[in-house]
Structure 1
Amino acid sequence: MKVHYINILLFALPLNILVNTHKKPHTTPRHTETTRLLCECDLYIPNYDNDPQMKEVMQQFEDRTTQRFEEYEERMNHKRQKCKDRCDKEIQKIILKDKLEKQMAEQFATLDTDIQSDAIPTCICEKSIADKVEKDCLRCGYGLGTVAPTVGLLGTVAVHAWKPAALKATIAAALKLNTTEISAAAKTAGDAVGAAKVIKLIQSTFKIQNISGQSLGSYITTNTYTDVTSIYEAVYEQIQWTCLPRLDGYLLVGGANPNDPMCSVVWGKIVPGLVGQGKGVSYNEVIQKTAETIVSDAKTTAVVKAAKVTSVKKAAVETTQKGVIDAASIELYNAIGYSVLAIIIIVLIMVIIYLILRYRRKKKMKKKLQYIKLLEE
């Protein structure tokens, strides 16, 4: 029997319909259950004995677990030791306290209690001027004795802390003050070296000793050694006058002078260019390029020399200022030393006064006690 629902006019009506089936229950085949059983021996066989990856994972787990247990044991031992040490200290304090209490009780028990109140003279309770001075001297000596090492220590520390900052500030101020002087000295030295370099290169390159009827040292100075045009024109004029032919009216005079080293150098630079397949080079172009190279080398030499002079001047300024600061710090050290010495002397005087007054007070007290004993007898 089955139940079917049919929607009729939006109403769900249950209909019971008898269904005739031709299946016979006694002929229906039954499902045979398959039994899966394990042997008793198979229950205790591990599944991953032959798996190397599983073995590696198990070994790692075991190693990490062992390491963590060891670390935990170390921490616990450390904590136990700390607790034990703290307990031992507390026990020692308690034992020491008990011993002190017992000793004090024994000492108080052995004291003579037969002291009458009238046996103590009244003059002892009255503070004399000597007692006041004694206590004041002791107090001053204690205070000054405590202050003296502190003054020496703090003074030394203060000087050491002040010295680097003062040295840095002094050097900076001195360099700023002497900047113009250092720059001028560096420029003068650089220009002198540059002019000497130009003269040396002209002599070695062109074999020229004089220009325009005056020596190279007179013509090339610290103000003109960087003027490429002036040097080029002077050298060109000297070479043209000596080595090249020129017109004198209607006559061609002069010419190449093979005996002059200057002419040999110039023609040695020009002739190789004239030979190569019609490609020539002008002698004035050669002179101009050579003059530019000479001036460039001289400028480089001048810059290097100026940098060296600047560093030397700055080092000299730093050395001078360092000497000044060292002298000032030595004076401060001396002042601190004198102050500490004065404080120590005052402390010694206070201690001596205290000892004298104490001795006198004890002497008076001894006489008073002897007088009291005589009166009691």
Structure 2
Amino acid sequence: MKVHYINILLFSLPLNILEHNPWNHYMKPHTYTNRSLCECELYEPANYDNDPQMKEVMENFIKQTQQRFHDYDDRMKEKRKQCKERCDKEIQKIILKDKLEKELTEKFSTLHTDIQSDAIPTCVCEKSVADKVEKTCLRCGSVFGGGIAPSVGLLGGIGEAAISAWKPKAIAAAIAAAEKAGAAEGLAAGNALGMEIVTAFLKAYSVDKFCPELLQSIGNKITYYDVAKISEIIIGKYEATCNVSTDTSTQAMCTDVGTKFKLIRNETMDFLPTRSGIKTKVIDFVEKAKFSADTQAAKVSSKITADLTAEKTGEIAATYGAWKTTIIASIVAIVVIVLIMVIIYLILRYRRKKKMKKKLQYIKLLKE
């Protein structure tokens, strides 16, 4: 196929353009690769092991691998040896350096001592012991006179104020403790007296024979002023025994109890119902016992409180006196020491002024 381009180039240029045509090119046929069973048998493991060429290849591989491992071990041994030698050399250098530094330090110190002691000529002006003592005492006397003497009075005032503030608080604490202990002792004494009075009233009303377990319970399980429980126990026992039993001795005991509690009609007095009669009598003697117990508790509490207060106050006063004496003695001792130091300071100061005056006179004469 030919095309002429005239308009652009101003002359005709024939171009041959090949047109692509799928039916004109050559097509190569596809070849298939097939394997037969006889060919696959060549690559079985048994054939590999028995093949002399494969055996030779494997032996060469094993030899080369072993040789490489041996070479690697040799190189590692050589490197370790070199590292160890280098480390040993460094250690030897450090030890030698430390040794040299130590020797040089000892030599320089010896040389420095020799120079200080012998090489440099010195002129030592030795002072007498009196001058040294005078100078020291002057310094101490000035310190004691100027700073410590006022501080002694301040410390003494602080100590006195501290123990003076401690004494009222200690006495108040002792009184509170004495009151607490007195109250506990008074309560115990009052309870004991109340139990004793209630037990005596129950025995007087023949309750100890009629209901002995009640007397054993008072003070352990039942308080002596528990009117409700005491009344209920006596009423229950009376109703369970006297209204059912026909025994002569039991009836006689019930008669005795009923007469004393005014539960049985009598020619001289009226009778009361069982509950109100027993409860009235129990309230009566429990109130008497409670009044006596409170009186006894107050008496014992006041006595114990007074005794303990006197004892603790005496101990506090003795302690306060001992501390005060100790503080006063310490202050007096310090003041005496300060006065002695001040006197020594004044004497030495006078001597020093006298010496200075003489020196000034000698200097004046020399100048003239």
- Structure possessing the higher radius of gyration over alpha carbons: 2
Instruction: Give the TM-score normalised by the residue count of structure 2.
Output: 0.44
Instruction: Give the TM-score normalised by the residue count of structure 1.
Output: 0.44
